[in-house]
Amino acid sequence: MSAPLTLPPNRSAALARLRDRLARLDRTAQDRATLPLAPEINQHLPWGGLPLAGLHELLSDAPGHATAFAALLLARAQARLTRRAALWIAAEPDAYMPGLAGLGLDATRLFLLRAPRQRDALWAAEEALRSPATAAVLLLGARTLDMTAARRLQLAAETGGGIALLLREEASTPGPTTALTRWRITPRALSATPHHLGPPAWEVTLLRARGGQPGTWLLEWDQATGQLATPAAAPAAERRRA
Amino acid sequence: MAGRRCARTPALPLPMPERRLRPPAPLPASSEPATGRRRFLVLHGPGIGEMAAWALRFSPLVGRLGPDALLIETTGLPEAEPALLARVLAAFERAGLPATGLLGAAPAALGALLRAGHPSAVLTPAEEAAALPHLPVTALALPPETILALHRLGLRDLAALEAQPRAPLARRFGGVLMTELAALRGAVAPYTPIRTPPRHVAARDFLEPLLTAPALAHALHRLVVELCEGLNAEGQGARVLRLTAFRGDGSWQELGQGLGQASRDPGHVERLLARRIEELRPEFGFERMMLAAPVTEWLDAQQAALAPEAGPEEALPQLLDRLGQRLEVWRLIPHASHWPERAQRRASPFAPAAPFTPAPRPLRLLRRPLPLEAVALLPDAPPSLLRHGGRAERVVSAEGPERLTPEWWQPGRQAPPRDYYRVQLASGARWWVCRRGEPGTPDARWFLHGYLC
């Protein structure tokens, strides 16, 4: 790569060749296992679902908001990659299994790690992602994550084949990222009546996807079927481009 | 024909009368007497008993004989005995604890000879037996009043003592004297090794003391390979590893490392130990390192080489071992309690797991519940407004209350009852809030205890 590239007069052909080469270098562009979300989102994403073996950022503006969504993804990763375990890494892991079991999370394959320093948390996440025994790693409360650290996590996830979820509590959207996707999760009270909470629902905004377009969806989780779906009652005006 | 062929046992040699098997020739009788089989090195010097753990570098079997004497069993050591004695004495000399040592068959006799001032030597059983009769009674390991009484009787040395008939001696002085006399003549008194000798040890001496991390890592690699080969040969896997590094000045350092699942995979063992290298402090350098597996388990042989990557079954315990070295790792197991913070317990990641029953409970339970200010239409009505940290949250819907009373069968738990509500805020969040205390009383207070899905 050190030799300077001399562009031939036919520029478009050269560009096409370079694009092809980049696509071959980028392992995320290959066919890979994915986690299914709602059918609409699966169609929208370039991979046909949320790809495993990659880093995904979940942003939320208050503590606890996006935990349910992240836990749902953990449970789906556990179900997709049987015989592998999920890890919950936080400065003070406060996962409560009686509630999480309702989302389908398997307590026998969930391990909690206490990492008060971010350095340790990143090391543990990377070590776990590299291992073929990990289905998913949920890293909570990572602040000021630089590009190098995110890239390292991405590479580790590609090695091991598990999914890396980064849950960040930030009201504003942080700078650029090397993650495959970046989401903002906002909880919504869609079908709540004064004495009944109704199924959990979120407004899920895809801020960035590598090789894809952003978008916004309203999602509702049906506990009986365990499926994510866009509620029928949601007005079409809610579906807008971010 | 086929039946006949089956019935005939093929190729069994028939005993021929002229080629009768002879009984094997008797083995030549052992030249040394039975007591000479086990060999002991007894060291005597002030304060030497404290060095028992350090003396493990010479032999895995070391015992203490009081504060001033050490017993090292040298049976089966490959080194020639005079060279071994010289090496041990030189090492103690360098460590600042000069000692005298006798290598022989009966530890009690050797100890007594050393107390009587015998110089360092290697004794054959014959020499030992010849030296014993001149042993003064004061050198024996006997209570002072017994020695005084023997002196009063005019029994000054062992020859005089052994010339006496045994029965009156036993009646007069009891079993202590008899035991000591038997021990002096080679009936080996049992001793307790300071540590049970591990079955699997790899040890290495270094001419140049090791100082740098790469040198230590290299030495560790060779020890691990050697240990794992030994484990492999016996079909065992290590559960606990102990690395002992001896410095030149007589001090030593020990590192213990547990494994979640028995393993003899050199790569895994080495990775675990390599991370501990920074804990080793080779002040003036390590001159001997010993890696032992004191606790082992049966481990079935597994086919390697077809799949170079370990499968999830082996990779998970290895990963948890590595993570557990630096961070706290646990798994959650259910506990039979309806009190929320006691309904789950932490367990070791290698402990047996158990599934949870789903319940309408939060996903995250705050260790320290956040105090809230609540506005309710009636004292026992669900809250309609919650304030936390200067922010007001309007409650859209609330499910509850779910009253939890403390477990009266638990002693010392006199907490007030709690009323839990699952509330949906206008902002979209769902909280698990509780009112502590009876509604309407001034000590009723509100807390945020967890986040719901």
Q: For residues A125 and A130, what is the distance between their CA atoms, to the nearest angstrom?
A: 9
State pLDDT tens for residues B30-48. 444 444 478 889 999 888 8
**pLDDT tens per residue, range B157-191:** 888 888 888 888 888 888 888 888 888 887 766 78
- Pick the closest to residue B316 from A192, A87, A215 (CA basis): A87
B319 shares its domain with B387 = no
SS3 B339: coil
Mean pLDDT of B22-26: 59
Q: What is the pLDDT of residue B305?
A: 52
Whether residue B94 has pLDDT greater than 90: no
Same domain, B207 and B318: yes
Residue B136 CA: distances (Å) to CA of A37, B146, B325? 92, 13, 57
Of B330, B344, B396, the CB nearest to A189: B396
Distance CA A125, CA A165 (A): 10
pLDDT digits (tens, 9 = 90+) for A124-166: 999 999 998 999 999 998 777 888 999 999 999 988 889 999 9
Which residues, including other chains, have CB under 8 Å from residue B180's CB and lie 6 or more apart? B108, B140, B141, B142
Convert the pLDDT of each residue in B118-165 to its tens digit: 899 998 888 888 888 888 888 888 888 888 998 898 888 888 888 888
Domains and CATH numbers, chain A: 38-238 (3.40.50.300)
**Residue B332 forms part of a structural domain:** no
- Confirm whether B3 is domain-assigned: no
Higher pLDDT, B412 or B232: B232
Based on the fold, state whether residues B75 and B210 are members of the same structural domain.
Answer: no
Q: How far is CA B211 from the centre of its chain?
A: 27
Using CA coordinates, name the residue in chain A closest to B450: A64
Chains A and B: how many Cβ contacts under 8 Å?
178
Residue A120 near residue A142, CB atoms below 8 Å = no
User: Cβ atoms within 10 A of the Cβ of B368, count?
Assistant: 9
Q: pLDDT band at residue B22, thresholds of 50, 70 and 90?
A: low
Single residue among B323, B348, B381 that ends a domain in this structure: B323
Residue of A nearest to B315 (CA): A133
Last residue of a domain, one of B120, B153, B184: B184
Q: Which two three-digit tokens encode residue B385?
A: 């407004």
Pick from A71, A123, A189: CB nearest B363: A71
The answer to the question of residue B314 being in a domain is yes
pTM of this prediction? 0.72
Query: What confidence score (pLDDT) does residue B13 get?
Result: 58
Question: Is it the case that residue B227 has pLDDT exceeding 70?
Answer: yes
CA distances from A61 to A70, A125, A147, B138, B353 (A): 14, 23, 21, 85, 34
More confident residue, B357 or B414: B357
B312 and A94: CB-CB below 8 Å?
no
One-letter amino acid of B98? P
Whether residues B115 and B225 share a domain: the answer is no
B123 and B79 in one domain? yes
Which chain A residues are closer than 8 Å to B362 by Cβ?
96, 99
Q: How confident is the model at residue B315 (pLDDT cuts 50, 70, 90)?
A: confident
Within 8 A of A200 by CB-CB distance, chain B residues are: 430, 452-453
Rounded Cα gap, residues A88 and B61, in angstroms? 46
Confidence at residue B432, expressed as pLDDT on a 0 to 100 scale: 93
Q: Residue A85's pLDDT band (boundaries 50, 70, 90)?
A: very high
Amino acid A241: pLDDT? 40
Q: Which residue type does B79 have?
A: E
What percentage of residues in chain B have a pLDDT greater than 90? 22
What is d(CA B36, CA A46) in angstroms, rounded to the nearest whole number?
82
Question: With 70 as the cut, is the pLDDT of residue B19 above it?
Answer: no
The predicted model gives B12-22 an average pLDDT of: 56
> Residue B412: which domain range?
364-451
Judged by CB atoms within 8 Å, which residues 279-308 of B form the interface with A? none
Residues B207 and B84 in one domain: no
B327 vs A: CB within 8 A: yes
> What are the two backbone dihedrals, phi and then psi, of residue B163, each rounded to the nearest 5 degrees?
-75, -20
Contact A115 B309 (CB under 8 A): no
Tell whether B271 is within 8 A of chain A (Cβ).
no
In this structure, what DSSP letter does residue B386 have? E
Q: Are residues B44 and B171 in the same domain?
A: yes
Would residue B60 count as lying in a domain? yes
Predicted confidence band of residue B303 (pLDDT cuts 50, 70, 90): low
CB neighbours of B140 closer than 8 A, spacing ≥ 6? B112, B147, B158, B180, B184
The predicted pLDDT at position B188 comes to: 64
Least confident of A37-46, A209-218, B11-20, B272-281: B11-20
Give residue-wise pLDDT tens across range A165-222.
999 888 788 888 888 999 999 988 888 788 888 888 889 999 999 888 899 999 988 8
d(C-alpha A26, C-alpha A29), whole Å:
6
- The structure tokens listed for B143 are 């209570």
Q: Which residue has the tokens 């679902």?
A: A49
- Residues B129 and B44 grouped into a single domain: yes
Residue A240 — pLDDT band, cuts 50, 70, 90? Answer: very low
Least CB–CB distance from B399: residue in A106, A187, A197: A197
- Give the end of a domain, one of B152, B184, B216: B184
- Give the C-alpha distances (Å, rounded to integers) separating B138 from B107, B121, B329: 17, 21, 60
**A163, burial (CB in 10 Å: exposed 0-12, middle 13-18, buried 19+):** buried
Distance from CA of A192 to the nearest CA of B (A): 6
CA of A13 vs chain B CAs: smallest distance (Å): 41
Q: Is residue B335 part of a domain?
A: no
Count structural domains, chain B: 3
Local confidence band at B29 (pLDDT 50, 70, 90 cut-offs):
low
For tokens 């490959």, name the residue. Answer: B78
CB contact under 8 A, B358 and A68: no
Domain of B50: which CATH number? 3.30.70.270
Evaluate if residue B27 carries a pLDDT over 70.
Answer: no
The answer as to whether B129 is a domain residue is yes
| Least confidently predicted of A12-21, B89-98, B238-247, B341-350 | A12-21
For residue A150, which of A177, A116, A120, A117 has the smallest C-alpha distance?
A177
Nearest chain A residue (CA) to B361? A99
How far apart are alpha carbons B226 and B211 in whole angstroms? 22
> B305 vs chain A: nearest CA distance in angstroms?
17
B242-251 mean pLDDT: 86
pLDDT, residue B107, reads 87
Do both B215 and B302 map to the same domain? yes
Q: For chain A, say whether B20 makes contact (Cβ under 8 Å).
A: no
Q: What is the DSSP string of B56-110?
A: GGT-S-EEE-STTEEEEE-TT-SS-HHHHHHHHHHHHHHTT---EEEEES-HHHH
Element (DSSP H or E) covering residue B287? strand B286-298
State whether B129 and B267 are in the same domain.
no
The Cα angle at residue B201 between residues B195 and B202, in degrees rounded to 5: 140
Same domain, B155 and B47: yes
| B418 backbone dihedrals φ, ψ, rounded to 5° | -125, 140
Residue A67, token pair as written in the block: 């935990």
Q: Is B162 helix (H, G, I), strand (E, B) or coil?
A: helix
Residue A129, both tokens = 């992602």
Same domain, B62 and B148: yes
pLDDT reported for residue A153: 92
In a domain, B347, yes or no: no
Give buried/exposed letters for B423-451 (b at 16+ CB in 10 A, else e). bbbebbbbbbbbbbbeeeeeebebbbbbb
Per-residue tokens: B438: 């009876």
pLDDT band at A27 (very low <50, low <70, confident <90, very high): low
Judge whether residue B345 has pLDDT over 50: yes
Give the list of residues 6+ apart from residue B412 with CB closer than 8 angstroms, or none: none
Q: Is A83 left (phi over 0), alpha (psi -120 to 50) or beta?
A: left
Q: Please report whether residue B109 resides in a domain.
A: yes
Whether chain B has a CB inside 8 Å of the CB on A92: the answer is yes
Q: In the block, which residue shows the tokens 């350092």?
A: B253
What is the separation, in whole angstroms, between the first and last Cα of chain B? 82
- Is the pLDDT assigned to residue B23 strictly greater than 90? no
Residue B164: count of CB within 10 angstroms of its CB: 13
The pair of three-digit structure tokens given for residue A28, joined into one six-digit string:
């995320």
CB contact residues (below 8 A), chain A span 114-173, against chain B: 114-115, 120, 123-124, 127-128, 131-134
Chain B residues near residue A100 by CB distance under 8 angstroms: 356, 363
